[in-house]
């Protein structure tokens, strides 16, 4: 006969404490070291974008979550039926890796709570769209969903609200209120790097650091920041220039693959390069990285971007026009 010894009172309390803490520990796992975000295969463009025709066909799917990115008054006046008003602030935090940083990826637990508050659950199919010209803000939210592990279950509506109304589809002024959903712990896809990592990659073969800001900031003709927090004029040394706003047409639709490829090639980015993207705060870079991923590039995001780099006086900056070897 086997005799099972009951645990002592002290040991029993310890076992109970461990059992209660286990779910919390699972939800608070440390984020893995950054790894380049690979493109989807076989068509890297397919999961990133959906058309107006696709959305019209799937608008009433029970697992669809539609996120409207734009000013609140415009949302109140007209939005795609069922859409929920969302902003970059809803899915970002400030001051995580440096003083004054305004747009940073949240911790896994914070991000989980904020996604759940938007009604996003484990089986959701999430479509993000932008009002008017808010392409980079919507791109940032899509990139955040990718970071959260939604991968091919999150896409951008090509052309945004303008494409929807141009196609003659109905809009709504009824506010869509999301119920807080239940999400299991996120499987973070960490492709976010910091200043130290970027500095270590300066001049590395097969790596293209790409600046998505307007040319005046890239060349140093104009400094970014504000009167309260001015930035050093210039760019990260050796960075290529692919201005985010050139990657969509006059109707804010993503340009054809051939035109996107030409833009990256003109900047000196070679096929197969690993792209590290940055801008002012990590938003415009999101639009550029979205285009890069649609071409099959592996990408990393410097989340602090030039706002962070500029504050680090030990890090070099470069000014002037693009070098011939860029």
Token couple for 265? 């090639």
What pLDDT, in 10s, does the model give residues 256-269?
Answer: 999 999 999 999 99
| pLDDT reported for residue 134 | 95
In this predicted structure, the answer to whether residue 195 has a pLDDT above a threshold of 90 is yes
- The pLDDT assigned to 20 comes to 30
pLDDT in the model for residue 12: 31
Residue 181: per-residue pLDDT: 85
For 169-180, how does the pLDDT look when each residue is reduced to its tens digit (9 = 90+)?
999 999 987 778
| Other Cβ atoms closer than 10 A to 252 | 19
pLDDT at residue 132, rounded to an integer: 87
Predicted local confidence at residue 15, as pLDDT? 31
| Chain mean position to CA 260 | 19
pLDDT tens per residue, range 110-161: 999 999 999 999 999 999 999 989 999 999 999 999 999 998 899 999 999 9
Secondary structure, 3-state, the chain: CCCCCCCCHHHHHHHHHHHHHHHHHHHCCCCCCCCCECCCCCCCCCCCEECHHHHHHHCCCCCEEEEEECCHHHHHHCECCCCEEECHHHHCECCCCCCCCCCECCCHHHHHHHHHHCCCCCCCEEEEEECCCCHHHHHHHHHHHHHCCCHHHEEEECCHHHHHHHCCCCCECCCCCCCCCCCCCCCCCCCEECHHHHHHCCCCCCEEEEECCCHHHHHCCCCCECCCCECCCCECCCCEECCHHHHECCCCCECCHHHHHHHHHHCCCCCCCEEEEECCCCCHHHHHHHHHHHCCCEEEEECCHHHHHHHCCCCCCECCCCCCCC
The reported pLDDT for the residue numbered 31 is 75
In the prediction, which pLDDT does 21 show?
34
Ordered by start, the domain boundaries in the chain are 49-166, 192-311
Instruction: Write down the pLDDT at residue 182.
Output: 85
pLDDT at 3 over 80: no
Per-residue pLDDT, 95: 64
pLDDT at 30: 62
pLDDT, position 103 = 86
pLDDT mean over 267-277: 97
Topology of domain 49-166, per CATH? Oxidized Rhodanese; domain 1 (3.40.250)
Report the pLDDT value the prediction gives residue 325, as an integer from 0 to 100. 57
Check for a shared fold between 49-166 and 192-311: yes
On the question of pLDDT at 294 being above 90, the answer is yes
Average pLDDT rounded to a whole number, residues 237-250: 97
CATH 3.40.50.1100, domain 192-311, yes or no: no
Reported as half-sphere exposure (CB side, CA atoms, 13 A), residue 13 has a value of 2
Q: Mind listing the pLDDT tens digit for each residue in 217-229?
A: 999 999 988 877 8
- What dihedral do alpha carbons 118, 83, 287, 101 form, nearest 10°? -40
Work out the average pLDDT over 301-324: 90
For residue 63, name the pLDDT band (cuts at 50, 70, 90): very high
Give residue-wise pLDDT tens across range 69-112: 999 999 999 999 999 999 999 999 876 444 567 789 999 999 99
Name beta bridge partners: 248.
254
Reading the block at residue 122, the tokens are 């484990």
Q: What is the pLDDT of residues 9-54, one digit of tens each?
A: 433 332 323 233 333 333 345 678 999 999 888 899 999 999 999 9
């Amino acid at each position: 006969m086997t005799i099972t010894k009951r645990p002592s009172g002290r040991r029993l309390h310890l076992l109970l404490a461990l059992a209660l803490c286990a779910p919390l520990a699972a939800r608070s796992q440390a984020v893995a070291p950054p790894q380049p975000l690979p493109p989807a295969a076989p068509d890297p463009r397919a999961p990133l974008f959906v058309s107006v025709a696709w959305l019209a066909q799937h608008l009433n799917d029970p697992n669809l979550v539609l996120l409207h990115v734009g000013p609140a008054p415009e949302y109140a006046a007209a939005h795609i039926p069922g859409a929920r008003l969302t902003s970059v602030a809803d899915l970002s935090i400030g001051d995580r890796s440096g003083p004054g940083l305004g747009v940073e990826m949240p911790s896994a637990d914070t991000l989980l709570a904020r996604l759940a508050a938007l009604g996003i659950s484990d089986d959701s199919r999430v479509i993000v769209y932008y009002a008017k010209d808010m392409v980079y803000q919507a791109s940032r939210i899509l990139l955040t969903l990718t970071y959260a592990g939604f991968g091919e279950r999150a896409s951008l509506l090509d052309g945004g609200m303008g494409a929807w109304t141009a196609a003659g589809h109905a809009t709504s002024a009824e506010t869509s209120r999301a119920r807080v959903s239940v999400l299991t712990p996120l499987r973070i896809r960490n492709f976010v790097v910091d200043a130290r990592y970027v500095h270590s990659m300066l001049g590395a073969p097969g790596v293209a650091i790409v600046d998505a800001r307007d040319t005046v900031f890239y060349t140093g003709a104009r400094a970014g920041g504000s009167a309260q927090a001015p930035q050093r004029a210039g760019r990260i040394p050796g960075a290529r220039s692919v201005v985010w706003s050139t990657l969509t047409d006059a109707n804010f639709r993503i340009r054809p693959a051939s035109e996107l490829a030409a833009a990256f090639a003109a900047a000196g980015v070679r096929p197969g390069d690993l792209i590290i993207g940055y801008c002012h705060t990590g938003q415009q870079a999101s639009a550029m990285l979205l285009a890069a991923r649609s071409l099959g590039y592996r990408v990393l995001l410097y989340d602090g971007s030039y706002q962070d780099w500029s504050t680090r006086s030990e890090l070099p900056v470069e000014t002037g026009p693009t070098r011939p070897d860029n």
